[in-house]
Amino acid sequence: MQLHLSTWAEVETYLKGSKGIIIPIGSTEQHGPNGLIGTDAICPEVIGKRVGDDIGALVGPTISVGMAQHHLAFTGSITLRPTTLISVVRDYVQSLVRHGFERFFFLNGHGGNIATVTAAFSEIYAESSFKAGSNAPSIRCTLKNWWQTPGVDKLSKELFGDREGSHATPSEVSVTQFAYPEAIKQARMDPVGKPSRAFADAEDYRRLFPDGRIGSDPSLSSPEHGRRLVDAAVADIIGDYKTFLTQA
Ligand code: NI
């Protein structure tokens, strides 16, 4: 069930049975020579929709632009500042709290979002912590990275080994090729080594990783690999979401 394809009355009915919602969050940033700029938003959106369909969970609109300042030296990339993304996450959650939602399961597609989204959760918790004894229902937020579930981790190692790398990976590119076969791109690319150090700003990133990849070989991507990775992610995330809802 998707929020943007529901009526307000349907959401009201849903809330009688569940206070939980899945929120895909990603990024709009370069993904190497053959990866789509929307990769990090497409992956959690596709997986989140499948989870929602399979178990009747509500899925909110994808937050498609994230914290990606380090990709801005590549054309087409868009970022929110960390402080802006914190505000976006807070306002999104607080809007839904007003309606009665209590459990917020962010399904993440971008490593660069983790620190900022975690800080946004602390801001949300701080607001209720300042209200002593309000006795309001407690809000819980969690962030799950789709590419780090046990099933995805095992399968990506099996399919790609150490050519998985850490940005513009064959796993994420495969998922987008499965989701949008009409948008598959071909590109020539040479092998790239492991990063020698952490990057800083956008110019530094581009100096270190001239074609955008970090240690990956996305020429190994295929729609069939993507299908298997989505299946693996959905199975794991259904378990994680159900546990999150039932935790005391
Ligand atoms: Ni990515």
pLDDT, mean over the chain:
96
Helix axes 223-246, 39-55, angle to 10 degrees: 60
Distance 169 CA to ligand 1 centre (A): 7
What does the alpha-carbon distance between residue 38 and residue 244 come to, in Å, rounded to a whole number?
A: 28
Taking CA atoms, 10 is separated from 13, 19, 95, 98, in Å, by 5, 13, 17, 16
What does the alpha-carbon distance between residue 188 and residue 100 come to, in Å, rounded to a whole number?
A: 51
Q: Is residue 244 part of a domain?
A: no
Q: Average pLDDT of 48-52?
A: 98
What does the alpha-carbon distance between residue 27 and residue 197 come to, in Å, rounded to a whole number?
A: 23
| Residue 195: predicted pLDDT | 84
Q: Average pLDDT of 86-106?
A: 98
Distance 164 CA to ligand 1 centre (A): 12
Would you mind telling me the total number of residues written for the chain in this entry?
A: 248
| Residue 193: predicted pLDDT | 83
CATH number (domain holding residue 214): 3.40.50.10310
Distance 137 CA to ligand 1 centre (A): 35
When divided into structural domains, the chain yields a total of: 1
Q: Is residue 34 part of a domain?
A: yes
User: What is the per-residue pLDDT across 183-199, written as a single tens digit (0 to 9) for each?
Assistant: 999 999 998 888 889 99
Distance 100 CA to ligand 1 centre (A): 33
Distance 168 CA to ligand 1 centre (A): 5
User: What is the per-residue pLDDT across 120-154, written as a single tens digit (0 to 9) for each?
Assistant: 999 999 998 888 777 777 899 999 999 999 999 99
3-class DSSP assignment, residue 165:
coil
Distance 184 CA to ligand 1 centre (A): 16
Is the pTM of the predicted complex or chain greater than 0.95?
yes
| Residue 34: predicted pLDDT | 98
Distance 56 CA to ligand 1 centre (A): 27
Distance 39 CA to ligand 1 centre (A): 6
Distance 27 CA to ligand 1 centre (A): 8
What does the alpha-carbon distance between residue 133 and residue 114 come to, in Å, rounded to a whole number?
A: 30
Q: Is residue 248 part of a domain?
A: no
Q: Is residue 245 part of a domain?
A: no
| Residue 245: predicted pLDDT | 97
| Residue 131: predicted pLDDT | 85
Distance 110 CA to ligand 1 centre (A): 5
Q: Is residue 228 part of a domain?
A: yes
Distance 114 CA to ligand 1 centre (A): 13
Distance 32 CA to ligand 1 centre (A): 10
Distance 118 CA to ligand 1 centre (A): 18
User: What is the per-residue pLDDT across 202-245, written as a single tens digit (0 to 9) for each?
Assistant: 999 999 999 999 999 999 999 999 999 999 999 999 999 999 99
Q: Is residue 44 part of a domain?
A: yes
Q: Is residue 72 part of a domain?
A: yes
Distance 87 CA to ligand 1 centre (A): 22
Distance 246 CA to ligand 1 centre (A): 30
Q: Is residue 132 part of a domain?
A: yes
Q: Tell me the residue range of the domain where 102 lies.
A: 3-239
